[in-house]
């Protein structure tokens, strides 16, 4: 993969493209009652855009943070990770405030300012199960700031926080042996499954939920991408046999994952039930991991030597979303709730659904380009390049013009 970065000026277009694609898929998945959600990867396999996002984040983190450990030392590496962790934490709080404000405003608007019939179609607070926050605000807000209260819509960034906080331990283990970091991650994953290691998600005394995205399980896919990018783990060589084995596995999983495939077959239904533990999402079951690796290998195999196709007129806007990862993710999550409200008002005819989804894509891409423009600080006047007069060539003597009698 380092060769690909070298060919494209230090950035791997696959990372930016697929991370951007993740955000578009995540947007579709989070729009309530979205018909386009029937066509996202989660409907055709055990893994989905979440695995892609976490893996790509791990791969990019090795470039952004891992190299700081390697070049600037352990203390500077810890500082860099701590700064990013703070950024993600504040993003988590900001996202929650925006979504809560929108849910309250939409509920009030629909109810005409009167009493709200909880859990009704107009209860946007209840649709996200946020009434506890409004009923027990003092307790809930302390729980949210301390990551004890983690509602389902707001669970991926806390998972990322814990995974980031693990990085100094992983880097320290890798100093003992190059395989020390990966071995630590594998050991933690196995310990999580054997002993049920998890974090509490609610401060309510009557609720004992754990985080939906268990970071001790999901760290495995993050640090897989991290280890590959750092060069600790080598990817399998190109093999046509392995490629077709992955394709067969992906197709078989699709047959037991999509309702339209397995509903008419007793055999496929039985296989789906048997494989249910392999696809559990909360603790990141091993089946999801294997399924994602199969898709990743097949994708890399097909793109090998053809990465430039991602730089087309369609690919570049998606890559731009991937380059502005955290703010675009947050914007997409907020936009998904707004899109749900638009569909509630305008209806869910096919043309409306398509228009709302592609309108959301356009807004996300536009937001990514706006962020890129703002980060370039266009308001700062660029000083003209300074030229040393001593280095300038001496003016040449004028050439006589015979026609002028010179």
Q: How many CB atoms lie within 10 A of CB 394?
A: 5
Q: What is the pLDDT of residue 264?
A: 84
Residue ranges in the chain whose pLDDT is less than 70: 1-10, 112-121, 203-206, 382-406
Q: What is the pLDDT of residue 387?
A: 58
- How many Å separate Cα 162 from the centre of its chain? 15
Kindly report the pTM of this predicted structure: 0.88
Summarize pLDDT for 55-105 with one digit per residue, the tens: 999 999 999 998 899 899 999 999 999 999 999 999 999 999 999 999 999
DSSP letter string, 180-217 = HHHHHHHHHHHHHHHHT---B----TT---B-SS-HHH
Q: What is the pLDDT of residue 390?
A: 55
Burial class (CB in 10 A: 0-12, 13-18, 19+), 248: exposed
* Cα distances (Å, whole numbers) of residue 35 to 103, 356, 357, 398: 22, 11, 10, 76
Summarize pLDDT for 111-145 with one digit per residue, the tens: 766 666 665 667 899 889 898 999 999 999 999 99
Farthest CA pair distance, the chain: 106
Q: How many CA atoms lie within 13 A of 170 on its CB side?
A: 29
Provide the H-helix boundaries in 121-179. Answer: 124-127, 131-135, 137-145, 156-165, 167-176
Summarize pLDDT for 178-204 with one digit per residue, the tens: 899 999 999 999 999 999 999 887 766
């Amino acid at each position: 993969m380092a060769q690909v970065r070298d060919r494209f000026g230090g950035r791997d277009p696959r990372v930016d493209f697929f991370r951007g694609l993740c955000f578009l898929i995540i947007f579709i998945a989070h729009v309530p009652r979205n018909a386009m959600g029937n066509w996202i990867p989660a409907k055709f396999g055990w893994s989905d855009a979440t695995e892609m996002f976490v893996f790509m984040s791990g791969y990019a983190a090795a470039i952004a943070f891992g190299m700081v450990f390697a070049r600037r030392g352990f203390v500077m590496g810890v500082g860099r990770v701590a700064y990013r962790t703070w950024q993600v934490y504040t993003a988590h709080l900001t996202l929650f405030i925006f979504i809560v404000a929108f849910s309250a405003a939409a509920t009030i608007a629909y109810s005409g300012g009167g009493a709200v019939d909880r859990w009704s179609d107009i209860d946007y607070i209840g649709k996200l199960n946020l009434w506890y926050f409004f009923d027990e605000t003092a307790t809930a807000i302390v729980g949210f700031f301390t990551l004890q209260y983690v509602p389902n819509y707001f669970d991926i960034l806390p998972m990322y926080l814990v995974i980031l906080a693990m990085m100094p331990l992983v880097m320290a283990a890798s100093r003992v042996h190059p395989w020390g970091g990966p071995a630590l991650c594998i050991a933690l994953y196995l310990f999580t499954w054997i002993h049920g290691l998890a974090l509490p998600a609610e401060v309510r005394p009557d609720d004992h939920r754990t985080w939906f995205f268990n970071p001790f399980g999901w760290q495995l896919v993050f640090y897989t991408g991290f280890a590959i990018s750092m060069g600790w783990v080598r990817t399998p060589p190109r093999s046509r046999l392995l490629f077709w084995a992955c394709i067969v596995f992906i197709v078989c999983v699709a047959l037991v994952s999509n309702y339209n495939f397995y509903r008419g077959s007793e055999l496929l239904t039985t296989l789906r039930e048997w494989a249910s533990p392999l696809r559990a999402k909360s603790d990141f079951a091993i089946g999801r991991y294997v399924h994602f690796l199969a898709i990743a290998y097949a994708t890399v195999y097909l793109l090998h030597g053809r990465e430039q196709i991602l730089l087309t007129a369609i690919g570049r806007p998606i890559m731009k979303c991937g380059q502005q990862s955290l703010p675009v993710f947050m914007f997409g999550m907020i936009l998904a709730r707004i899109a749900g409200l638009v569909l509630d008002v305008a209806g869910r005819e096919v043309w409306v659904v398509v228009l709302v989804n592609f309108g959301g894509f356009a807004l996300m891409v536009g937001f990514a380009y706006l962020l890129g423009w703002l980060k370039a600080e266009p308001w700062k006047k660029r000083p003209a390049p300074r030229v040393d007069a001593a280095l300038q060539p001496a003016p040449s003597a004028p050439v006589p013009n015979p026609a002028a009698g010179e």
